[in-house]
Chain A
C-alpha cells in the first residue's frame, strides 16, 4: 500500500530556519521543497534540499559503539544505549567527585540546534568548561552588541520594512549572506531589501557574487577592518556628518571617540587597508548621509587578533550615523510570547567558583562568559597539565575546527575519556572511546530558535532515524538524568519541549501543528530606548544585578556606549582601536620574506556548511576538491596553471588544494577554502591533514585580549606546485 504524507517543518541544514514541505512515501523522504507560505517564502538552499541523501546515507552511525582497540584503530563494538550512557555518566560523575565539575568538558561545534541542551547540560553539572568555536564565530558580536547597546539582545539589519522604511544604504562587511553560512534564512530578506536599496557598499578582499552590483567595493587588506571603520568615523565626525541629535542624547563617550578617531585620518587608513583614500571618504559620506543604513557583518571580523575592537568600531559607526533602532537600520528584535528559548540553558546557574576557574577565565574575560578558551585547553593538554579529564562532544568535530590541527590532534588524545555524538564517523569520532548515533533534523522533533529571535519554528519529525539514532535533545536528556537529575526531571522529550514553550502557554503538540510563532510587522517596536521598559526588562552582562528604570538603552549609562564602561571595568580599552594582524607584511617583515603571500582560510561554498556535507553525492559532485583562489599574475610567476594541485604552506604545515586562477582579489593575496576533509578516504583521519586549512592556522597568541580569538582569516603563506610524483 502506498502511504504518502506531507509534513511542514523547519530546515536545519545550517543554523537557519527556512520553512520546508517534506513529502514522505512509505517511510522514505521523496521530496523536499521550500514552503511558499512560510516566512522564507519558499526559498531554500542546496544544503537543506540535499537532506534526502543525508538521511539515506549508507555511512550513517546507527548504533552506540565503544572502542575495543587503540584510539583511532577503528575497532568498535556495538553496545546498548544504557551501557553507553551509563559509561559516559559514570566517567562524568567520577570526574566531578574526584577533581570537581570543571574536569568535565561539554563540547559542540557550530550551533546545530542543540546549543541550549549542551549549555544546560554543562551548567546542570556545574562546569564552566563548555568548549566550542563560538569565541571566534558569533559570540563576539552577541557579547559586544550586548555590552555596547542592547544588554542581552542582538542587533539585526532591518530588511523587513516593518517600520515603514527599508535600508537606503547597505554595507555587507566580510559577509556573503547571499550564499553562505549560519544565517541562511535571512538571505531572501537581504536580497529583497537590496532591490530597494540605493547603495550597496561591499567590504571584502575579493570579488563575490554581488560585487558587480555594488555602489562601492572596498577591497580591503585582510585583518584591517577596525582601521577602516575608524577611518570612516574620522571623516564622518570631522565633516560634521554624524547624527547630532542621537549622538548628543543617546551616545556615551562621543568626545573620547572623536579624539580616538583623529589617529585614523583617511591617508593613514588608505595605507593600512590598501584602499584608495577617495573610496574611504566616499563610503563614509554615503553611509552617513544616505540613511537609514545597515551593516551586515561576517565571521572573519571575529576570527582575528583584534575581534572585540573591530566589532566595537563597527557598532560605533552604526551609532554615530543614527542607525540604531530606527526603521531600516539596526534593530534588536523582540521575541514572541514564548520568550527566548535559549533561557532553557541560562536559567541554570553554575557555581561562581567554577565560572571563575573556567580555563582561560583570567585572561579572556569575554570568551569565558560563554565558554572555556579552547586554544589554552589544547596547550594545557599538550603539556599534560590540563584539569579537563572527561570530554563529551555532543556535536561537531573539534579536530576539524581547532587551529593548528597537527598540534590539536595529539593534544586531544591526552584526554582520559572522549565521547562523541555524530551522524557520521568524523575524525574526532574516530578517536573517541564511545560514539553515539544522532538523528537528523528530519528524524526528530525540536524547536528552532536562532539568530534573529523574532520567531521560533517547529522542527517536525518526518521519518524514523536509522538504527537506534536519537535526537540531540533525547541524548542530552537521558545523559542529564544520570548526572544532574535535579535539572532533568522531564519524563521525555515532549515534556521537555512543552516546558520550553510554557511562556507562550502552548504545548509542543499544538506548536507542532501551528509551525511558527512569530512577532513581526507592527508587533515589533522601534526606538525602544525612548520608552520605559527596555532597561527594566534586561539584565546587564558582566555586571552585578542592578535595577534599571526609565527610558534608555540597557547599558550601564543608559546610552549606546561609544566608550564602553563595561570593558573599562574589565581592564580593556573602552575605545576601539586597530591592531596589525599577528602575521603581515608590516608586523612580521622577516616572515613575509619567506612567506610572501597573504592567506585567508575563509573561502566558503554555498553547498557545504563548515566541514559538513562532503559525503552527500549531490553536493560533493558540485565541487569534489578544495580550491584556492590565486591571481593569474601571481600564478604565472609561480608557474601555476588553473587546476593545478598546489601546496599552501605556513610555519605550521602545508596542505594541498587545487589552484583556481581568479582576477577578483589583490595579486598579493590567496584565498584557501576552509574546513576540507575527505569522508570517503579511510579513517581515522579521513584526509584531515591533507587539505584542511586549519593545518595552517596558528594556536599561538597574541589572541584577541577579551575574546581570545586566534587568527584564522589572515596569515602569511607560500604557494608552490605539487609535483606529479607527490600526487600519487
Chain B
C-alpha cells in the first residue's frame, strides 16, 4: 500500500496548520527536541512555500506548495547515505531513518531534489515518516487530518491521479 502525500496547490490557504500539526505529532513530549524560543527557523518536516503573487493583465497568479519528503520510489538519499541509515519500510514503502545509524553528514540534503531533510539539535536527520503509525492504523496523517482547506491528501498515486483527472474534467466541461 504505497502512499504519497499530495498537495493541491490550488486549494492551500497558507495557514501553516500542517506544519504545526506535524510538530505536535513528532515533537510533543517525550520527544527530546524542543527548539529554543525564537530560533530563526525551527524544524519543519513539512513546510509551506509561497510562490508569487504576480499580478498581470489576466489576474493574479500565486500558489502555496506544501513540501515534505516525497518518499521517492528510487530515493537518492537512500543511495547516498554512507551508513544505510535511511531505508524503506517494507510494508508501506515509506522512507524512514534509523537515528542510531545516522552520522549527520547531510549528504542526503545534497542529493534531495526537494530540500526535505531537516536536522535536529544533534545534527541527525529528521524526515517526514508519513505518520507511519497512523497510516498503519488506517488513519490520516496528522497534516492531512488537520488541513482546513483539504489541500493535503495522502493516497496511492492511482487515487491522486483520479482526483486530478476529475478536477481537469470539470474544468474542461465548464469551459
| Residue contact A49 to B17, C-beta cutoff 8 Å | yes
* B20 adjacent to A49 (CB under 8 Å): yes
Cβ contacts under 8 Å, A46 to chain B: 15-17, 19-20
Which residues of B sit under 8 angstroms from A193, Cβ to Cβ? none
Q: State whether A607 touches B38 (Cβ < 8 A).
A: no
Q: Does B37 contact A (CB under 8 A)?
A: yes
User: How far does the Cβ of B24 sit from chain A's closest Cβ, in whole Å?
Assistant: 5
Q: Which of B89-124 contact A (CB under 8 A)?
A: none
**A179 x B53 contact (CB < 8 A):** no
Which A residues touch B42, using CB under 8 A?
617-618, 621-622
Is residue B82 contacting chain A, with contact meaning CB distance below 8 A? no
- Name the A residues within 8 Å of B54 (CB-CB): 663
Chain B residue nearest in CB terms to A625: B38
The 8 Å CB contact of B53, one of A52, A212, A624, is: A212
- How many chain A residues touch the partner (CB < 8 A)? 45
User: Which residues between 22 and 37 of chain B lie within 8 Å of chain A, taking CB atoms?
Assistant: 23-25, 27-30, 34-37
Nearest CB of chain B from residue A182's CB, rounded to whole Å: 15
Q: What's the Cα separation between A32 and B29 when bound, in Å?
A: 12
Question: Which residue in chain A gives the minimum CB-CB distance to B38?
Answer: A624
Residues from chain A with a CB closer than 8 A to the CB of B27 are 618
Identify which of B40, B42, B54 gathers the most chain A CB atoms within 10 Å of its CB: B42
Within 8 A of B (CB), among A29-77: 30-34, 36, 42-46, 49-50, 52-53, 56
Known: A191-B13, A191-B150. A212 touches B59 (CB 8 A): yes
| Residue contact B53 to A606, C-beta cutoff 8 Å | no
Instruction: Report yes or no: A179 in contact with B15, Cβ–Cβ below 8 A.
Output: yes
Q: Does B63 contact A (CB under 8 A)?
A: yes
Q: Which of B53-112 contact A (CB under 8 A)?
A: 53-55, 59-64
Contact (Cβ within 8 A) B145 A212: no
Q: Contact between B145 and A36 (Cβ–Cβ < 8 Å)?
A: yes
Chain B residue numbers with a CB within 8 Å of A28 are 29
Within 8 A of B (CB), among A417-452: none
Least CB distance from A643 to B in Å reads: 12
Give Cα A44 to B145, complex, Å.
9
Contacts A43-B146, A178-B148; is A31 near B15 (CB within 8 Å)?
no
**Chain A residue with the shortest CB-CB distance to B11:** A191
Question: Inside 8 A of B45's CB, which chain A residues have their CB?
Answer: none
Answer yes or no: A119 CB below 8 A from chain B CBs: no
Binds B, one of A203-211, A241-249, A266-274, A562-570: A203-211
Number of interface residues of B (CB under 8 A): 45
- Bound Cα distance from A44 to B35, whole angstroms: 22
Asked whether, in the complex, the Cβ of B53 is within 8 Å of the Cβ of A664, the reply is yes
Q: Which of B17, B36, B62, B145 contacts A211 (CB 8 A)?
A: B62
Contact between A213 and B10, CB atoms less than 8 A apart: yes
Complex contact A621–B53 (CB within 8 A): no
CA distance A213 to B121 in the complex (A): 40
A620 interface hit (Cβ, 8 Å): yes
Which residues of A sit under 8 angstroms from B64, Cβ to Cβ? Answer: 209
A553 within 8 A of B: no
Contact check, A620 vs B13: say whether CB atoms are below 8 A apart: no
- Nearest to A177 among chain B residues (CB) is B13
How far in angstroms is the closest Cβ of chain B from A115? 25
- Choose among A50, A188, A209, A664 the residue that contacts B55 (Cβ–Cβ < 8 A): A664
Interface string of B33-53 (1 = CB under 8 A from A): 011111111100000000011
Q: Does A296 contact B (CB under 8 A)?
A: no
B45, chain A: closest CB distance, angstroms: 12
Chain A residues with Cβ under 8 A from B37's Cβ?
A: 615, 617, 620, 680
Q: Shortest distance in angstroms between A187's beta carbon and chain B's nearest beta carbon?
A: 5
Q: State whether B14 touches A606 (Cβ < 8 A).
A: yes
Give every chain B residue within 8 A of A49 (Cβ-Cβ). Answer: 17, 20-21, 23-24, 146
Closest A residue to B23 using CB positions: A618
For B12, list chain A residues within 8 Å (CB).
Answer: 209
Find A50's partner among B20, B35, B63, B142 (CB 8 Å cutoff): B20
A401 sits at the interface (CB 8 A)? no
Are B21 and A178 in touch, CB under 8 angstroms?
no
Which of chain B's residues have a CB closer than 8 A to the CB of A618? 20, 23-24, 27, 35, 42
Contacts of B28 in A (CB 8 A): 30-31, 52
**Contact partners of B35 in chain A: CB under 8 A:** 617-618, 621
Contacts of B150 in A (CB 8 A): 191-192
Shortest Cβ gap from B126 to chain A (Å): 14
Chain A proximity of B86: nearest CB distance (Å): 25
Q: Is A511 an interface residue (CB 8 A)?
A: no
Q: Which among A30, A178, A607, A662 is the interface contact of B13 at CB below 8 angstroms?
A: A178
- Given the known inter-chain contacts A191-B13, A680-B38, please indicate yes or no for A211 contacting B60, CB distance below 8 A: yes
Contact call A187/B20, Cβ cutoff below 8 A: no
CB of B1 within 8 Å of the partner chain: no
Kindly state whether residue A217 has any CB partner on chain B within 8 Å: yes
Query: Would you call A178 and B60 a contact (CB within 8 A)?
Result: no
Given known pairs A43-B148, A209-B14, A607-B20, the reply for A663 and B53 (CB within 8 Å) is: yes
Question: Which one of B15, B36, B38, B52 contacts A45 once the chains associate, using CB atoms below 8 Å?
Answer: B15
User: Is the pair A209, B20 in contact by a Cβ cutoff of 8 Å?
Assistant: no
In chain A, residues 173-197, which have Cβ atoms closer than 8 Å to a Cβ of chain B? 178-179, 187-188, 191-192
The answer for the CA separation of A28 and B28 in the assembled complex, in Å, is 10
CA distance A624 to B36 in the complex (A): 12
Interface core residue of A31, A621, A662 (most chain B CB under 10 Å): A621
- The yes or no answer to B132 lying at the interface (CB within 8 A) is no
Inter-subunit contact A617/B34 (CB<8 Å): yes
Cα A615 to Cα B16 in complex, Å, equals: 17
Please state if A45 and B17 are interface contacts (CB–CB under 8 Å). Answer: yes
Q: Does A518 contact B (CB under 8 A)?
A: no
Q: Taking the nearest CB of chain A, how far is it from the CB of B166, in angstroms?
A: 12
Q: Do A617 and B36 touch across chains, with their CB atoms under 8 A apart?
A: yes
Bound-state Cα–Cα, A50 to B17, Å: 10
- What are the residues of chain A within 8 A of B53 when measuring CB–CB? 207, 211-212, 662-664
8 Å CB contact of B39 from A212, A214, A606, A621: A621
Give the interface of A toward B (CB within 8 A).
Answer: 28, 30-34, 36, 42-46, 49-50, 52-53, 56, 178-179, 187-188, 191-192, 207, 209-214, 217, 606-607, 615, 617-622, 624, 662-664, 680
| Interchain Cβ contacts under 8 Å between A and B, 23 examples | A30-B30, A31-B24, A31-B28, A32-B24, A33-B146, A34-B146, A43-B148, A44-B146, A44-B148, A49-B21, A49-B24, A49-B146, A52-B28, A209-B13, A212-B63, A214-B59, A606-B14, A606-B15, A606-B16, A617-B38, A617-B42, A664-B53, A664-B55
Q: A31-B25, A45-B17 are in contact. List 7 more A-B contacts (CB 8 A).
A: A33-B145, A179-B14, A191-B13, A209-B12, A212-B63, A617-B37, A624-B39
Give B contacts to A, CB under 8 Å: 10-17, 19-21, 23-25, 27-30, 34-42, 52-55, 59-64, 140, 142, 145-150
